[in-house]
């Protein structure tokens, strides 16, 4: 028998402490509860931060993709500030030189006299400009260097033309005349040569190079617009202030297109399928305002370019080079504006009227632009022509 006379438990109401063993058993419970509440709060903040981070990461990822993809689909004008160039000439020296050239008297036979010493350009004079019914046409070469295989379509096209020779406005008739060939090169952008270009006697433009909206740099008048069907402007306003449209024949069907435009009789659906892009059905000019470029212009240009080519073979000249050769037949003095492809700077502007870059020229294989640049450089160096925009 055990008696517990010395063991007692005191009433807790008298503020006496519990036994040590009891204190240890009771005290951990509140501490455990406090720790659980803190852990939930921290867990909530943790998951909240994960959502924020995920959303931020998505926004950052979309931003990075946009920075890469948007310029690819919508190329920005990095090379130059369009608005600044439009209001401030890029080269005052060239602008002043152009003004000085126009202020002086026209020099008769200037081009001819400066072409004679240039052996590589022999044969570039006395070339017929437009096809006429009473002049022989080279049939031994296919278009664009000849008209072999196009006899029937040529006869129909000539029959639809009221006039086939040089219009009175293009004939020299003893007076000294100045020509300017306006190329489509990006170097023309920001040049402020428009008012100078309009002062020339004959202004030659190429394909669908626009005039409205670019008057400050490109001028407002057009004497001859050289084109092929796929390159003809679709907007009627582009033919305003145009004297002559000259067709450059690249295939026999081009002549059928010309006949269709003049006679207002649309081409058949099957005929249109042979064009590599949609062609215009109507040009708001009179029938007497159309001509057919004589293929000898293209042929003689090709023969000269062969002397500058690194590889021999059939070569198709650009309309620009051919237009220069045509200008040599029409005028005593010839100037160029908007010529010169700067292939060393692929980010440079290719055309004065759009933001396509120079490296787009690398994909074409039809023309030898390097040979053409050497040819034009020789003409400029010999003094036969003047480069108004200074890119040659």
CB atoms within 10 A of CB 240: 13
Distance (Å, whole) CA 219 – CA 213: 10
The answer to whether 263 touches 243, Cβ cutoff 8 Å, is no
- Output the DSSP codes for 228-280: -GGGS-SSGGGGTTEEEEEE--SSHHHHHHHHHHHHT-PPPHHHHTTSSS---
Residue 343 has pLDDT above 70, yes or no: no
Sequence length of the chain is: 392
Give tens-digit pLDDT for 25-60.
444 444 444 444 545 555 555 445 666 666 766 766
Residue 276 has pLDDT above 50, yes or no: yes
Phi-psi map region of 15: left, alpha, beta (phi>0 left; psi -120 to 50 alpha): left
Give tens-digit pLDDT for 191-214.
999 999 999 999 999 999 999 999
Q: What percent of the chain has pLDDT over 90?
A: 60
Mean pLDDT of 118-145: 90
Note whether residue 74 is domain-resident: no
First to last CA, the chain: 127
Give tens-digit pLDDT for 348-391.
788 898 877 766 555 555 778 889 999 999 999 999 999 999 98
> In whole angstroms, how far apart are CA 81 and each of 77, 87, 88, 189, 209?
7, 10, 11, 11, 21
CATH number of the domain bearing residue 126: 3.90.1480.20
State the pLDDT at residue 121.
Answer: 87
User: Residue 173: which pLDDT band, with cuts at 50, 70 and 90?
Assistant: confident
State the pLDDT at residue 169.
Answer: 82
Mean pLDDT value across the chain: 82
User: Residue 7: which pLDDT band, with cuts at 50, 70 and 90?
Assistant: very low
State the pLDDT at residue 349.
Answer: 82
> Beta strands of 184-235 (E only): which ranges?
202-206, 222-227
Distance (Å, whole) CA 315 – CA 366: 7
Note whether residue 239 is domain-resident: yes
Number of domains in the chain: 1
Residue 144 has pLDDT above 70, yes or no: yes
Distance (Å, whole) CA 233 – CA 323: 18
In the block, tokens 């690249």 appear at 250
Provide the domain limits for residue 284: 82-387
State the pLDDT at residue 39.
Answer: 53
Q: What percent of the chain has pLDDT over 70?
A: 74
Distance (Å, whole) CA 349 – CA 186: 5
Give tens-digit pLDDT for 61-90.
666 545 434 443 343 333 333 444 456 777
Distance (Å, whole) CA 365 – CA 120: 24
The answer to whether 363 touches 310, Cβ cutoff 8 Å, is no
Note whether residue 23 is domain-resident: no
Residues facing 227 on adjacent strands? 247
Residue 317 has pLDDT above 90, yes or no: yes
State the pLDDT at residue 264.
Answer: 95
Least confident of 58-67, 75-84, 229-238, 266-275: 75-84
Note whether residue 18 is domain-resident: no
Mean pLDDT of 297-303: 96
Residue 226 has pLDDT above 70, yes or no: yes
| DSSP summary character for residue 349 | B
CB under 8 Å to 218, separation ≥6 — which residues?
182, 188, 193, 194, 197, 209, 210, 211, 338, 352
Mean pLDDT of 101-129: 93
Mean pLDDT of 239-267: 97
Note whether residue 306 is domain-resident: yes
> In whole angstroms, how far apart are CA 311 and each of 289, 301, 308, 315?
39, 16, 9, 10
Note whether residue 76 is domain-resident: no
Residue 222 has pLDDT above 60, yes or no: yes
Note whether residue 87 is domain-resident: yes
CB under 8 Å to 97, separation ≥6 — which residues?
388
Distance (Å, whole) CA 227 – CA 247: 5
The tokens describing 44, both together, are 């909530």
State the pLDDT at residue 69.
Answer: 41
Residue 314 has pLDDT above 70, yes or no: yes
User: Residue 286: which pLDDT band, with cuts at 50, 70 and 90?
Assistant: very high
Note whether residue 103 is domain-resident: yes
User: Residue 174: which pLDDT band, with cuts at 50, 70 and 90?
Assistant: confident
């Amino acid at each position: 028998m055990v008696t517990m006379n010395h063991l007692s438990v005191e009433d807790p109401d008298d503020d006496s402490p519990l036994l040590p063993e009891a204190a240890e058993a009771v005290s951990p419970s509140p501490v455990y509860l406090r720790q659980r509440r803190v852990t939930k709060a921290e867990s909530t903040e943790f998951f909240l931060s994960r959502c924020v981070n995920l959303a931020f990461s998505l926004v950052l990822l979309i931003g990075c993709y946009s920075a890469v993809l948007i310029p690819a689909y919508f190329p920005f004008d990095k090379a130059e500030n369009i608005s600044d160039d439009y209001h401030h000439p890029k080269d005052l020296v060239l602008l002043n030189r152009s003004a000085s050239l126009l202020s002086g008297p026209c020099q008769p036979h200037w081009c001819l006299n400066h072409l004679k010493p240039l052996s590589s350009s022999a044969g570039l004079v006395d070339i017929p400009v437009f096809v006429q019914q009473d002049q022989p046409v080279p049939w031994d070469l296919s278009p664009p260097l000849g008209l072999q295989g196009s006899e029937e379509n040529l006869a129909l096209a000539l029959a639809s033309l009221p006039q086939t020779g040089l219009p009175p406005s293009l004939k020299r008739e003893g007076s000294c005349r100045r020509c300017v060939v306006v190329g489509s090169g990006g170097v023309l952008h920001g040049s402020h040569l428009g008012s100078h270009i309009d002062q020339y006697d004959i202004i030659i433009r190429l394909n669908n190079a626009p005039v409205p909206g670019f008057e400050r740099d490109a001028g407002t008048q057009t004497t001859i617009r050289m084109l092929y069907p796929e390159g003809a402007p679709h907007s009627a306003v582009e033919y305003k202030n145009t004297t002559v449209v000259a067709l450059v024949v690249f295939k026999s069907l081009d002549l059928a297109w010309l006949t269709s435009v003049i006679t207002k009789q649309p081409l058949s659906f099957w005929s249109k399928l042979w064009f590599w892009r949609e062609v215009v059905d109507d040009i708001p000019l009179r029938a007497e305002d159309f001509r057919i470029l004589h293929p000898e212009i293209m042929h003689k240009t090709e023969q000269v370019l062969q002397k500058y080519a690194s590889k021999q073979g059939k070569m198709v000249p650009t309309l620009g080079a051919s237009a220069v050769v045509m200008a040599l037949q029409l005028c005593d003095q010839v100037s160029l504006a908007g010529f010169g492809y700067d292939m060393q700077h692929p980010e440079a502007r290719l055309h004065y009227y759009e933001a396509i870059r120079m490296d787009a020229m690398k994909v074409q294989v039809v023309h030898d632009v390097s040979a053409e640049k050497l040819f034009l450089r020789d003409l400029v160096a010999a003094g036969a022509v003047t480069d108004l925009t200074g890119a040659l």
